[in-house]
Amino acid sequence: MDEKNSHSAFITVIGHDRVGIIAAVSTLLAEAGVNINDISQTILQENFTMIMSVDLSKATLDIKALADRLEAKGRELGLSILIQHADIFHAMHRI
Amino acid sequence: MAKGMFEDFEILETIRMFQEEHLDVRTITMGISLMDCAAGSADETCRRIYDKICSRAERLVAVGEDISREYGIPIINKRVSVTPISQVAASSRTTDYAVFARALERAADNVGVNFIGGFSALVHKGYTDSDRRLIASIPEALATTEKVCSSVNVATTRTGINMDAVREMGEVIVETARLTADRDALGCAKLVVFANAPEDNPFMAGAFTGSGEPECVINVGVSGPGVVMKALERCPEADFGELADTIKRSAFKITRVGQLVAREASRRLGATFGILDLSLAPTPAVGDSVARILEAMGLERAGAWGTTAALAMLNDAVKKGGTMATSSTGGLSGAFIPVSEDAAMAKAAADGALSIEKLEAMTAVCSLGLDMIVVPGDIPSNSLAGMIADVMAIGMINSKTTGARLIPAYGKKVGEWVKLGGLFGEAPVMAVSQAGNDAFLRRGGRIPAPLQSLTN
């Protein structure tokens, strides 16, 4: 389980919708060498919610440094941006 | 689906549990054997204890913070537990064991943990000379340190109850309260009297590393009363079968979080992966309360008739979900009902809905004893000893761990509030029986081990 997903993570963006959220986040990720596998977005309880599945295998930053940058970007845009290693979701949601 | 593995709702559920429902890893506790630290003098023993803890736990806090960051899991406490000091100090040729507590404190300060457990002795069958010295040093040890926790095991199902130790612990609690009177008897919050104490418990104040444990081990305690409460609030009409299933599903997810953290922490620290403690541990934070789970089940307050049954079901369902999620269970693994650490429990006590006698009944079916209960400051030591004896008897007869953590609030009367601060919370002074028991405790000796058949 660990080996297979050791480079996958999920990024969750929650907050008020506005122009350019995807552009801002994906630019940051491109600069850090992070590949986006998939994006989905919905409006949940009036909140814009975007979930990105990403691959960190060619990333130039480790997940902690990436988390710091995403958080800073979130503050700039007035959004909550989280990155979490995929293992946590495996652990909780798969038997 | 395209994201490969997960639905959006699963990802959002995880985030909600961490951010809104107080799911967290309560503690990563590193157990360190100090058996090789015994020396012929107190100075040398203290030096070895300090050096070993500082070297083994050097990266504990940093690794905990890394894991927290990478997985987005709040990890609240990093702690250390050690071999019972009465065993480590036995050959040190000193009578004042508080020096070892201060060595533990310095080591805890150095590695940055907020508590260190193991100023402990196991005297369920009898005392060694070293056990006597340790127990006599407990009040001073707890009064002159902040992070050191102490525990004494006075009973087991296989050996019975050491009533001499029970009586003495009543006196030790009174003296600890006196020496820490200026801090609302805070010293007593760091002292547990046990029956059937586990060797691998990650939770304070009762953590120590038993002699059956490996050199260096990681034990993890996860907590999620808020998650269970929110899950129950989402099914207000469910019958008890559905209720139990809902709790089991939450417990499974909570436990899996702990397992991931324990495995990663032990791998990165080069320590053995020990156990996950399947306990629901409340904190004073709003929404992180076991009492509120009981209310979500339909009881007006903790302490209402039905509380014992509700807690029995809750505890059992948590264990069933947890054992499905991991094969490495251990520690205390029961529902915690520490009055001061659970805001709704303390409120129920203040309003008269919850009495010490009801808490004792709750202990019999599910929980871990009379925990963080504030009693009047003028309570006789034999009354404390009698309370301890009753809790020990419940543990001994039911083959389970029970503990007593009793806080005589110096100079305070029933109904007055005591603020212990931080995770210890606050609680009202609770009423206790005034009837005497001196002649009972004067008998001394050991209550024999119970029969383990004919169990009705």
Q: Which of B4, B70, B71 sits opposite A53 (nearest CB)?
A: B4
Residue B261 lies in a domain: yes
Residue-level pLDDT at B1: 39
For residue A12, the cross-strand partners are A51, A82
In the predicted model, what is the mean pLDDT of residues B277-294?
Answer: 89
Spatial distance between the Cα atoms of B166 and B386, rounded to a whole number of angstroms: 8
pLDDT at A95 (0 to 100): 85
* Position B437 pLDDT exceeds 60: yes
pLDDT of res. A5: 53
CB B52 within 8 A of CB B230: no
Residue in B307, B319, B297, B379 with CA at minimum distance from that of residue B345: B307
pLDDT tens digits for B145-196? 999 999 999 999 999 999 999 999 999 999 999 999 999 999 999 999 999 9
Instruction: State the CB neighbour count (10 A cutoff) for residue A16.
Output: 11
According to DSSP, the residues that pair with A48 across neighbouring strands are A15, A43
Partner-chain residue, chosen from A38, A53, A85, that has the shortest CB–CB distance to B71: A85
Site of tokens 């107190």? B42
* A89 → closest Cβ in B2, B6, B66: B6
Selection from B137, B129, B41 nearest residue B93 by Cα: B41
Tell me what the mean pLDDT of segment B289-299 comes to: 94
pTM here? Answer: 0.93
How would residue B455 be classed by pLDDT, with cut points 50, 70 and 90?
Answer: confident
Give the C-alpha separation, B120 to B149, whole Å: 8
Does the pLDDT at position B272 exceed 80? Answer: yes
Query: What integer is the mean pLDDT of B121-148?
Result: 98
Is residue B33 scored above 50 in pLDDT? yes
* pLDDT for residue B8 is more than 70: yes
Which CATH superfamily hosts domain A8-93? ACT domain (3.30.70.260)
Q: What is the pLDDT of residues A7-48, one digit of tens each?
A: 999 999 999 988 889 999 999 999 999 999 999 988 877 788
- For the cut 50, the answer to whether the pLDDT of residue A3 exceeds it is no
pLDDT beyond 60 at A4 = no
What backbone torsions phi and psi does residue B396 show, to the nearest 5 degrees? -65, -50
Among B3, B71, B73, the residue with its CB nearest the CB of A53 is B3
B420 in a domain, yes or no?
A: no
| Domain count across chain B | 1
pLDDT tens sequence across B195-245: 999 999 999 999 999 999 999 999 999 888 888 998 899 888 999 999 999
Residues across chain A? 95
Q: Which run of H or of E encompasses A83?
A: strand A79-85
DSSP-assigned letter for residue B4: S
Beta strands in B14-156 (DSSP E): 24-32, 75-82, 115-122, 148-156
Q: What is the pLDDT of residue B59?
A: 97
Residue B36 DSSP code: G
Q: Is B385 a member of any domain?
A: no
Query: Exposed, middle or buried: residue B439 (CB in 10 Å: 0-12, 13-18, 19+)?
Result: exposed
* Cα(A40)–Cα(B236) distance, integer angstroms: 32
Please answer whether residues B403 and B368 qualify as being in contact, where contact means their C-beta atoms are separated by less than 8 angstroms.
Answer: yes
- Residue B93 in domain: yes
Q: Which percentage of chain B shows pLDDT scores above 70? A: 99
Task: State whether residue A83 sits within 8 Å of chain B by CB.
Answer: yes
Residues 240-269 of B with CB under 8 A from A: 253, 256-257, 259-260
| φ, ψ for residue B54, nearest 5 deg | -65, -35
**Chain B interface disruption, residue of A87, A89, A90, most B CBs within 10 A:** A89
Q: Tell me the domain boundaries of chain A.
A: 8-93
Q: What are phi and psi for residue A94, nearest 5 degrees?
A: -125, 135
Looking at residue B41, its pLDDT comes to 97
Say how many CB pairs under 8 Å bridge A and B.
Answer: 77
CATH number at residue B111: 3.20.70.20
- Long-range CB contacts (within 8 A, 24+) of B242-245: B243/B297, B243/B313, B243/B317, B244/B313, B244/B316, B244/B317, B244/B320, B245/B317
Query: Which residues in A lie closer than 8 A to residue B8 (C-beta atoms)?
Result: 40, 42, 49, 51
Shortest distance, CA A19 to any CA of chain B (angstroms)? 22
Confidence tier at B19 by pLDDT (50, 70, 90): confident
The answer to whether residue B380 is domain-embedded is no
ipTM score here? 0.87
Range of the domain at B196: 22-337
The 8-class DSSP code of residue B39 comes to -
Residue B18 has pLDDT above 90, yes or no: no
Alpha carbons A77 and A89: distance in angstroms, whole number: 26
In three-state secondary structure terms, B126 is coil
**Is B69 an 8 Å CB contact of chain A?**
yes
Three-state DSSP at B423 gives: helix
- Give the pLDDT confidence score for residue A42 in this predicted structure: 84
Rounded to an integer, what distance in angstroms lies between the CA atom of residue B455 and that of residue B398? Answer: 9
Whether A10 sits inside 8 A of B6 (CB atoms) is yes
Q: Which amino acid is at B438?
A: D
